[in-house]
Structure 1
């Protein structure tokens, strides 16, 4: 009896695993095709390209030219404005491409009925998310590459030559861009309409940039404002990038007088989990009040 009864259970289990694997594979294939579409659509939007893709390059150029005569280091270890602002601009680019662009884009798609139309198609939510996050990753890589090239070629910034520095850059970048994208999806639930998305999201992104050591030296901010900034991921992303591109002597200017890379990973990872939870709770194809 026991042998006879266990056979159907085993078969059912295998069927369920096979069905789950097929469903996951389908979701991944659809998501990959969505990435191509999302990237093409992104570069067709002139305002998005300027305010999220080219904005860090423009700001780096402005600050580098405006403070070209100022030494941000010491007499023994001089540092140009371009080298000083490079880490912050890379981190800000991740925030802009992820959080800002994603939140506004999805809010607009909710408002113009795009997501409502998706609800009537076989497109899984997972594939939609893969497309969006993949687009942020692709544009983030291109943006970071462009910012680094401008700093190096146009302003003569010396780039790190230790493999360990670029390894740090890689994991801070991947964690930062993923966290920013997920938080952008979560934040898209805040604007009530697509028209209000820009007014709601851009001030949040600007405030975070000003208090997180992007445009102002983080050590120059009041202690209480540093503590506030430490509660948000951009401060930690910028700190991780500073470890990569700034001299070791700048480490003492951080809050804990160290680069604190474990803290960068923990804080950014925690925000990634928060973003996933909020997205799981709030995201839907159709608004409740629509």
Structure 2
């Protein structure tokens, strides 16, 4: 018979047994957050960027009570807020994850991590947790700035439910796509040159910096293929008045299409990520 240590409770885990995946994922989330906040560039260009851009656009274009057309004439800060929330989610999820994983792979961190007992699922849970915390904090700062500095009215009632599913689905899609796209750059040093231009172009054609209706028709069609346009439109349905719906390109908020496009990209990201994710550099076998 195996001897039992009387000092150890009967329900205590056996010595050497790893904690559960969820507990490991939470621990990894804390580590990911610490690593994120050590990178000053990440704090400025991912966390603070949407807040700074909202302040600049609202101050410059919102002087003297100027309003966005077409009618009903929405204040600039109120119109730009949904796009900034959406682009903040994209930066915190897609861009942040793609850059960080590419860098970790290039520096050999993923290879070393793969040699440890840590389950791969716990590693990815840590990334998801980090993205959620950063996205929630960033969005809270945006809403606080908009409400206090620019008197943007906050949504009420069921609008918050719409906000929640657009935010969660957009964050999940951006994170999964970031994991999948992290294998595209040839090295960690080239990752920013590959990822950042894509994000910038999508911001310009997706109704983040400009009124979406004012963009050329071909540009609207290109933007409609990608998630950011639909995240921004979903957020507009939350923060803009109900009468603004008739001035969308399709004449409605298209919530069903928003769900369909974001879910499609989520599935594509999962499939591509499973097939292409690498723990080693290209030149490391």
Tell me, yes or no, if structure 1 residue 60 matches structure 2 residue 54: yes
Provide Cα deviations, 1:222-255, integer angstroms capped at 9, x if missing partner. Answer: 1111111010000000010000001122212222
Aligned residues: 266
Provide Cα deviations, 1:162-218, integer angstroms capped at 9, x if missing partner. Answer: x21000000100000111011111111011011101111000000111110000111
| Residues 250-261 of structure 1: pairs in structure 2 closer than 5 A | 250-261=244-255
Contact 2:26–2:126 under 8 Å retained in 1: yes
Tell me, yes or no, if structure 1 residue 195 matches structure 2 residue 195: no
Contact 1:90–1:147 under 8 Å retained in 2: yes
Aligned to 1:41: 35
Equivalent residue in structure 2 for 1:137, among 132, 136, 139: 132
Aligned to 2:14: none
- RMSD over aligned Cα atoms: 1.6
Equivalent residue in structure 2 for 1:127, among 122, 139, 160: 122
Equivalent residue in structure 2 for 1:28, among 22, 41, 48: 22
Aligned to 1:271: 265
Aligned to 1:98: 93
Which whole-Å CA distance do the structure 2 matches of 1:74 and 1:241 have between them?
18
Which whole-Å CA distance do the structure 1 matches of 2:98 and 2:69 have between them?
37
Using the TM superposition, give the Cα deviation of residue 284 of structure 1 relative to its aligned residue in structure 2, in angstroms: 2.5
Tell me, yes or no, if structure 1 residue 231 matches structure 2 residue 231: no
Provide Cα deviations, 1:255-278, integer angstroms capped at 9, x if missing partner. Answer: 211001111111101101111111
Using the TM superposition, give the Cα deviation of residue 160 of structure 1 relative to its aligned residue in structure 2, in angstroms: 1.3
Tell me, yes or no, if structure 1 residue 152 matches structure 2 residue 151: no
Structure 1 moving runs of 4+ over 6 Å: none
Aligned to 2:7: none
Which whole-Å CA distance do the structure 1 matches of 2:18 and 2:172 have between them?
20
Higher helix share: 1
What are structure 2's unaligned runs of at least 5 residues?
1-16
Which whole-Å CA distance do the structure 2 matches of 1:257 and 1:147 have between them?
27
Equivalent residue in structure 1 for 2:67, among 71, 76, 86: 71
Which whole-Å CA distance do the structure 1 matches of 2:254 and 2:70 have between them?
23
